[in-house]
Amino acid sequence: MNKINEKLRKSNLHYINGVKLLLFIYLFFSGCSSNQQIEQQSQEDLPVDSLYNQALDTVYSGNPKQAASIFEEVERQHPYSNWAVKSQLMAAWAYFEANDYPRALISLERFIELYPAHEDVEYAYYLRALCYYEQIVDVERDAAMTQRSMDAFSELLRRFPNSIYAQDSLLKRDLAISNLAGKEMAVGRFYLRQGYLSAAINRFQKVIDEYQSSNQVPEALYRLIASFSMMNLKEEANKSLKVAQYNFPNSPWTKKAEKLMSLTNSKK
């Protein structure tokens, strides 16, 4: 009988402890839900300017992703106010600060489409280009993001040539161009080493034609001249040499090309 009573006592203890655990879980999540409701209610009770400033404070306190949600709340609660338009752009900026580039791009594309004449639209174009630029990891493996970055900066410079963002955009666009040209040069050099001269020529010519502002062009001209010489196409090689001498007279690559063609032209 004592053993039975002992088992019943233990069973009751397990049951009581289980009830306590369930009660704790219920109160915990109820508290979380209540806190969320209180937070949401407090946001809804705030005037539009106070809600906007709360979003700014949240960014500066180190939580830009949460701030983006508050900026979006400004737009949701006050869709026809001037604050709503600004909040849409600020939400994109907050997502950018949080390194959430896909969501930032969605907000920016929407802003550009809805407000093409807004005074801050050039900043939207600049921020969009930065979103692509910051995602460049390795152009050798994936040039798509580099290409998008270059295109976005080019569009900004075309639309707003006198923009306050023009100088930085030009620098970053040229870096993107150099990265793309560098990839083409790497492939071209590989083809040249393997003896695939026509394929190599196509790559070097692409650098010269499509990435003219790149610092890779002088080498591309030299490699092109070398490829033509290996194919015994002296006329084409000499034409390319003249282009190099005219555009890059002091480049070491032009000097190498001159020596190469001097040897090539001396042969019968």
Q: What percent of the chain has pLDDT above 90?
A: 57
Least confident segment among 30-44, 46-60, 163-177, 238-252? 30-44
Where do the domains of the chain lie? 47-109
Its pTM surpasses 0.85: no
pLDDT at 74: 81
Question: pLDDT of 152-169, one tens digit each?
Answer: 999 999 999 999 999 999
Pick from 236, 234, 240, 268: nearest CA to 253: 240
CB-based burial, 94-126: b 16+ in 10 Å, e otherwise: bbbbbebbebbbebbeebeeeeeebeebbbbbb
CB neighbours (10 Å) of residue 227? 26
DSSP per residue over the chain, as a string? -HHHHHHHHHHHHHHHHHHHHHHHHHHHHHHHHHHHHHHHHHHHHS-HHHHHHHHHHHHHTT-HHHHHHHHHHHHHH-TTSHHHHHHHHHHHHHHHHTT-HHHHHHHHHHHHHH-TT-TTHHHHHHHHHHHHHTT---TTT--HHHHHHHHHHHHHHHH-TT-TTHHHHHHHHHHHHHHHHHHHHHHHHHHHHHT-HHHHHHHHHHHHHH-TTSTTHHHHHHHHHHHHHHTT-HHHHHHHHHHHHHH-TT-HHHHHHHHHHHHHHH--
| C-alpha distances out from residue 52 to 45, 106, 188, Å | 13, 20, 53
Rounded-to-integer distance, Cα 254 and Cα 245, Å: 6
pLDDT at 142: 65
Q: Is 46 left (phi over 0), alpha (psi -120 to 50) or beta?
A: beta
| Position 53 confidence tier, pLDDT thresholds 50, 70, 90 | confident
pLDDT at 31: 45
Question: pLDDT of 223-261, one tens digit each?
Answer: 999 999 999 999 999 999 999 999 999 999 999 999 998
